[in-house]
Structure 1
Amino acid sequence: MGHLPKLIEDLGLILIVAAITTLLFRRIKQPLVLGYIIAGLLVGPHLSLTPTVIDTENVETLAEIGVIFLLFSLGLEFSFKKLMRVGGSASITAFVEILFITITGYFLGYFMGWSTMDSLFLGGMLASSSTTIIIKAFDELGVKTKMYARIVFGVLVVEDIVVILLMVLLSTVAVTKQFEGTEMVFTVLKLLFFLALWFIAGIFLLPTLLRKAKPLLDEETLLVLSIGLCLGMVILATQVGFSAELGAFIMGSILAETTAAEKVEHILTPVKNLFGAIFFVSVGMLIDPAAMVEYRWPILFVTLLTLFGKFFSTTLGALLSGQPLKQAVEVGMSMAQIGEFAFIVAALGLSLGVTSDFIFPVAVGASAITTFTTPYMIKYSDHMYYFLARILPQKWILALNNYSTGTQNIQAESTWKKLTKSYLNIGLTNGIMLLALLLVSVNFLLPFLNRHLENDMLSSIAALVISLGIAAPFLWALMTKQPNKMDIKELWLDPEYSRGPLLVLQLLRMALGILIITIWVDRLFTTSLAILIAVPIIVFILFLFSRRIQAFYQRLELRFINNLNARETAEAEALRSSENILTKHFSPQSDLSPWDAHLVDLEVNPQAQYVGHTLLELAWRENYGINIAYIKRGDKLIYAPGKNNKLLPYDRVGIIATDAQMQAFKPIFDALEEVDTAEHNVEDIGLQKIVVDEHNRLKGHTVLSSGIRERTNGLIVGIQRNNERILNPTSTTTFEWGDIVWIVGEKKKIQKLNMA
């Protein structure tokens, strides 16, 4: 009999117990994450009543793979442009909440006597809320369509990316054991540089690769390619000095900008679910029930800080971002729980060996309590608002409302600000590429040439020519590329502005470019004479071939922009194929926040009562005050549908309404047609024949008057009379003695026809 590795036995135990616990938790309508953690507790070393996992080292390796796939999947849902669309309200709210809860979490750990590292990681654990729990609670309470839910989802997006950055900073602090400001600033700048570099390079290369390989990519090869890219970026990130989780997240966010993002996310889901389940089970294996009892007071304190601290800080952030008091309170009440990232942050601290073992029991205990309280916090958010409205001075409420109105009426940016932002984008993008090329030329290209060329001067010259040849388009853009020419012309001709700032800005760009060339030459050559000779020659060559360099750069830029906007372009092309060209006057992303009304996107249930009815017949606008902005049917988008348009199964409907209108209308939209709930089986329906005789008394009856359709739930498809066959007889066909009648219907009811 063959030997079975312990890892396979452990995996079987883990997955069987996890399946049982998650079925139970789904039955009681609780988050599956808690079910996985309970499964880990059952198979862990701290509970002797149940079988225990033996090969814990290999299980931990699988758990690390689970974290990588969880972060990769999160990146696929993220996309950098999604963060840009979140808007100022969600960003301000998130940063205020994260800053407050992280600092207070650190000081809570400090006052409880924890070490500095334990306190730091506690602050990081509290920085994010649970997307899974919030979405589940919103669905069950029917508030997903309310206006404040949009801000909550935006805050969750910002939280996710900030926690990723926090994990990198915590890893750096844990390894270096240094807290100096300069070290932290250097780490942040290094992180931002590599984030931008990976994003620019990834967007330039990956969409093109996927587009050219599309005819060869089926689900299997796409899955293998995606996981290979993910693990490749994980290796690269760890080589540079960052965490594996960051690499997985970055690759996911790059793929999120491609047209294959949804397909990759779909085929990756089973892999992510499997390894994610193993990770959360491994979290449960680290829980010691005795430790949870021992640290019951820290669990209580962390829970109270989460409930009240997150409510206060999120509400404050929402108010500062310009949200009305009622909406700010609703946002604050929704965010008061610990997310799944708490377990990942806690696992990071343990894997680095810098945190104590009791971190996990505290995180799990507080997470479990806040999971159960979240639905009640959301449900009673209105009551909290009315309570605050009663106790707060009226002038405070009036001031808050005036502040909210004022922030929503801020005018668009001035031309000068837009121009400055354009110059900043040009400088940062091309500066990052030049810095990356400089590092490659000094650390890789020059050593390579020195090994293969005997003359060091020749090696330096070759490295300079090759590297600056590649960098020439980016140097040209940094020094001379102009943003929107109309904005420059407007400022140049406007007497209100002096032309001096524009000239100074251009001269600074030129000086910056020459400085970069000087540094480049200085790093490759040891003599100052080389700088005096090489820099003027390089600048002269750049201007001599500026037109060719400009044309090449524009091709690079066009390819990058096309790749960056590939998903939006594909969607736009699908919409252009629609019969209604008026879609250009309406964007589903329109922000209606200055009004109480907002846009809600809903899907038509196939069993909805109104399916097949025209909008005129439904009269929703007259009865409920809502407006239908669009109907999306596959790739077809019907903008501002007319009274004769019908709603069909799986249509996406854009509805403009206030929260109050949606609360009254949503039950109507969700109402389903009453159907017979008795169990039916396809096998009960079949093709059978009966003979017209004295038992069924069909002789002399027509097909219509016989009532066969009603009595059998069936259809007469043929009659055989002597040697004649009548296919699909009409309703006036009369039965005669000895006719053989073929019926498609319920077998038992057909058989009863002969039982007179």
Structure 2
Amino acid sequence: MLHLPVLITDLGLILAAAGITTLLFKKIKQPLVLGYILAGLLVGPHINFIPTVTDNESIHIWAEIGVIFLLFSLGLEFSFKKLVKVGGSASITAIVEVVCMLLIGFVAGKAMGWKTMDSIFLGGILSVSSTTIIIRAFEELGVKHKKFAGLVFGVLIVEDLVAILLLVLLSTLAVSQQFAGAEMFFSILKLLFFLILWFIGGIFLVPTFLKATKKLMNDETMLIVSIALCLLMVLLAVKVGFSPALGAFIMGSILAETTQAEKIEHLTKSVKDLFAAIFFVSVGMLIDPGILIDYAVPILIITIATVLGKFLSSGLGALLSGQPLKTSVQTGMSLAQIGEFSFIIATLGLTLKVTSDFLYPIAVAVSAITTFTTPYLIKASEPFYLFLERTLPKSWVAAINRYSSSTAGITTMSDWKTLLKSYTFNTIIHSVILIAIIFLGSRYLHPFITKNLINGNKGIIISLIISLIFMAPFLWALAIRRIERKAHSHLWLNKKYTRGPLIALEVLRVALAIFAVCFLIFQFYNTWVAMVIALILIVSGMIIFSRKLQAFYDRLEHRFLYNLNAREEQNKQPEILPWDTHLTELTIAPESALVGKSLIELAVREKYGVNIALIERGNMMIPTPGRDERLYPNDKVMLIGTDDQLAAVGELFKGTNNDNQESAFPKKDMTLQKIVINASSPVFAQTIRESGIREKTQGLVVGIERNGIRILNPDSDLVFENEDIVWIVGNNKKIPDLLKKV
């Protein structure tokens, strides 16, 4: 008798329960995540009236795979360039929110008498909003085109990165069991070091690899390669002491910068959905209903703290960043929930055995409640803003408006700011690369050479020379390369008293390069004489080969920037953001009344006050289209206008206009029919064109059989004769009335 492994039975049970609950939640129009959690509760060990999962250990492995793919998909939507572009408003809002919620969570936990570690993890759980829930709510409510939605998406991008940082910090804190400032500082430095290194290396290598293998890639191989890259980065992250989730997120964010990002996201979506479902089911399996009853009051307190705390902190952050009161209120009420990252942080506490058993189900319960409240809060945000505007003192509202207007104009940078920003960026990037080369040379290259090729002093010299060759272009860029020539020359020529600081900056750059070389040599030799001799030779070599190093470095930089900007160049769109208007993208539905009409016929500017900035049609971009340009199904149109203007014109794009019945007859009514013509038929002795079949029956004559001869796709001038057998595709309710009438 064949034996079925327990893992397969458990997996079948999980997916069956998930399938049933998700169908139910689809029917009642609720987030699928809650359906998965309910499924986990039903098949978990705490409810016994239906079959339950028995091999919990294997399910936890599946769930960890789910976390990996969930973070990989979040990385694909993240993109480091998006983080740079979100600007100060989103960054300030996110930082204020995270800091405030960390404090609120910690204080709430301590006030309820919880342990310090439970309170710290509660702060982490409450600090991150749910990207999945917010995007779904925005789509259902049709507010993605509104101005505040752009700010919310920017905040979510920053929060994703903060959540990764929190995972690292909480892991360090959980292992040390105490707040060690030095250890935390080094953990942050280590994280930043590897983030920069992986991003630079990934952007340089991965897009180049995908481009070189593009002709060999079909959907199957692209899927396999994408998952392989994800898991390789997971292995690398674990190897250096980080969580698998961090590695998956980093590889996703690297692939997000490639021209294949949309295709990879589409191909991996099914894999992510499967394993993410298992993860969320495993979340539900850990919930004990008894704990939820016992901790009903803490759940209520934490829910109120989450909604009020996130509304106030996000709204305050948006106000401080210079956003108007309306945008700040709408942003704060949109972010008032917790979600998938909160589950991951709660799971981390359980895995490391540093949090109490009740914290996890409480976090899930709060997430479920705030998921239900989120759409209602978003809908209520504008009325609540109007209430605040009427209630608050007029002087307060005027002061907020003045502050928002004044901060909106602060965009210029002085020469000093420009120069210092570039020097800092240059120093950090090249220092990270040089440190990585030094450690690779001393920890891996040298042992390999001495073990497999040449031992002794010769092996050391060869290892040192190879390391220095790899370091040379980056040493040149760190110490000698000219940065921001225009700003530098302005400061040097126009203000003599700035020459001292400029010379000091150049000396600092050279000193850092010399230190990097000394640090490398010290890994192999600890005598000062050897170090001085080697240093003299290296400096001389860099001066002699300066031009070649510059040319080689320029090629490296060009390749990196090409890979970094390839996706943006492919989908390049103009940025037009005047006054209180903003840019949004709408897709023309095939049934929309806009299809086939020219811009002059539509007159959207005259009727709605909206301007069309760009039309994207497949791979073709039409910036500032002319008046005679026509719109076609699935065109992506970039519109610029206010929230109200965009909302009004948005209905046209959806194709909800059903004024005539002809556009709405069921697809099943379109059939292929055989009709026999006789002398009493209305179309007898008429040409196909004269008969009006196309106009009256929405039909098309595809074939005629006459005297045993078949005519495929007959000409429209062909005359119908007696006993013609006509094959016609059209509306089966109208064809008989026209052709069979006697």
Q: TM-score range by the shorter chain?
A: over 0.9
Structure 1 regions of 5+ residues with no counterpart? 573-586
**Matched residue, 1:408:** 408
1:681 to 646, 664, 668: 668
Instruction: Decide whether the 8 Å contact of 1:588 with 1:599 is kept in 2.
Output: no
Distance 1:660 1:499, change over 3 A: same
Equivalents in 2 of 1:702, 1:216: separation in Å? 53
Q: 2:106 & 2:245 partners in 1: Cα distance? A: 23
Equivalence for 1:84: 84
The answer on whether the counterparts of 2:258 and 2:564 sit within 8 Å (CA) in structure 1 is yes
Matches within 5 A, 1:100-111: 100-111=100-111
SS in structure 2 of the partner of residue 628 of structure 1: strand
Shift of 1:716: 4.8
Amino acid at match of 1:690: V
2:96 matched to which residue of 1?
96
Contact 2:109-2:122 within 8 A present in 1 as well: yes
Query: Over residues 76-112 of structure 1, what are the superposed CA-to-partner deviations in whole Å (9 max), with x where a residue is unaligned?
Result: 1111111001111001000000010012111211221
Q: Residue 207 of structure 1 corresponds to which residue in structure 2?
A: 207
Aligned to 2:602: 618
CA distance in 2, matches of 1:254, 1:703: 59
In structure 1, what residue type is equivalent to 2:439? L
- Change in Cα spacing, 1:192 to 1:706, as seen in structure 2 (3 Å) is closer
> Does the 8 A contact of 1:283 with 1:343 survive in 2?
yes
Alignment of 1:406-485 (within 5 A): 406-451=406-451, 456-485=456-485
Q: Distance in 1 between matches of 2:521 and 2:42?
A: 64
Deviations along 1:345-396, one digit per CA (max 9) or x if unpaired, are: 1111111121121122111111111111111111111222223223322222
For 1:511 and 1:628, the matched residues in 2 are separated by 54
- Asked if the contact 1:230/1:248 (under 8 Å) is kept, the reply is yes
Q: 1:554 offset after TM fit, Å?
A: 1.8
| 1:171 paired residue number | 171
1:691-744: CA deviations, max 9, x gaps?
Answer: 5267x58767776787766886544556666688888365794644x5555544
Preserved contact between residue 716 and residue 729 of structure 1 (Cα < 8 Å): no
Supply the distance in 2 between the matched residues of 1:302 and 1:23 (Cα, whole angstroms).
30
- Is the contact made by 1:692 and 1:741 (CA closer than 8 Å) also made in structure 2? no
Q: RMSD between aligned alpha carbons?
A: 2.5
Alpha-carbon offset, residue 755 of structure 1: 7.4
Q: 2:637 — aligned with what?
A: 653
Q: Are the equivalent residues in 1 in contact too, given 2:615–2:635 (CA < 8 A)?
A: yes
Q: How many residues align?
A: 737
How many Å apart are 1:449 and its aligned residue? 4.1
Counterpart of 1:650, as a letter, is N
2-structure distance, mates of 1:47, 1:691: 70
Q: Which of 586, 593, 604 in structure 2 is aligned with 1:602?
A: 586
TM-score by length of structure 1 reads 0.92
The residue type paired with residue 208 of structure 1 is T
Label 1:704 to 1:217 Cα distance change in 2 as closer, same or farther (>3 A): closer
CA distance in 1, matches of 2:468, 2:355: 47
Q: Distance in 2 between matches of 1:157 and 1:718?
A: 58
The one-letter code of the counterpart of 2:75 is: G
- Whether contact under 8 Å (2:76, 2:255) holds in the other structure is yes
Q: Give the structure 2 partner of residue 307 of structure 1.
A: 307
CA–CA distance in 2 between the matches of 1:126 and 1:426?
36
TM-superposed CA distance for 1:325, in Å, is 1.1
Cα distance in structure 2, aligned partners of 1:732 and 1:455: 93
Alignment of 1:375-390 (within 5 A): 375-390=375-390
Deviates further, 192-201 or 621-630: 621-630
Where does residue 578 of structure 1 map in the other structure?
Answer: none
Letter in 1 for 2:668: N
> Aligned ranges for residues 288-687 of structure 1 at < 5 Å?
288-451=288-451, 456-495=456-495, 497-571=497-571, 587-592=573-578, 595-674=579-658, 675=661, 677-681=664-668, 685-687=671-673
Change (3 A) 1:733 1:542: closer
Instruction: Work out whether residues 702 and 735 of structure 1, in 8 Å CA contact, stay in contact via their aligned partners in 2.
Output: no
Per mean C-alpha deviation after superposition, the further-off stretch among 685-694 and 364-373 is 685-694
Q: Shift of the alpha carbon at 1:302?
A: 0.9
- Report sequence identity in percent: 54
The answer (yes or no) to whether the contact 2:590–2:655 under 8 Å persists in 1 is no
Contact preservation (8 Å) 2:449, 2:455:
no
Describe the shift of the 1:378–1:459 C-alpha distance in structure 2 as closer, same or farther (beyond 3 A): same
Aligned pairs for 1:36-55 (under 5 A) are: 36-55=36-55
Please show how residues 19-168 of structure 1 align to structure 2 within 5 Å: 19-168=19-168
Aligned match of 1:579: none
Which residue of 2 is the match for residue 580 of structure 1? none
SS in 2 for 1:380: helix
After superposition, the Cα gap between the structure-2 partners of 1:449 and 1:368, relative to the gap in structure 1 and judged at 3 Å, is: same
* Separation (CA, whole Å) in 2 of partners of 1:715 and 1:448: 75
Q: Name the CA distance, whole Å, in 2 between partners of 1:555 and 1:269.
A: 36
Please give the alpha-carbon distance, in whole angstroms, between the structure 2 residues aligned to 1:372 and 1:495: 61
Q: Secondary structure at the match of 2:498?
A: coil
Note closer, same or farther for the CA distance 1:238–1:707 as it changes in structure 2 (3 Å cut): closer
Change (3 A) 1:90 1:411: closer
Map 1:259-298 → 2, pairs under 5 A: 259-298=259-298
Question: Which runs of 5 or more structure 2 residues have no equivalent in the other structure?
Answer: none
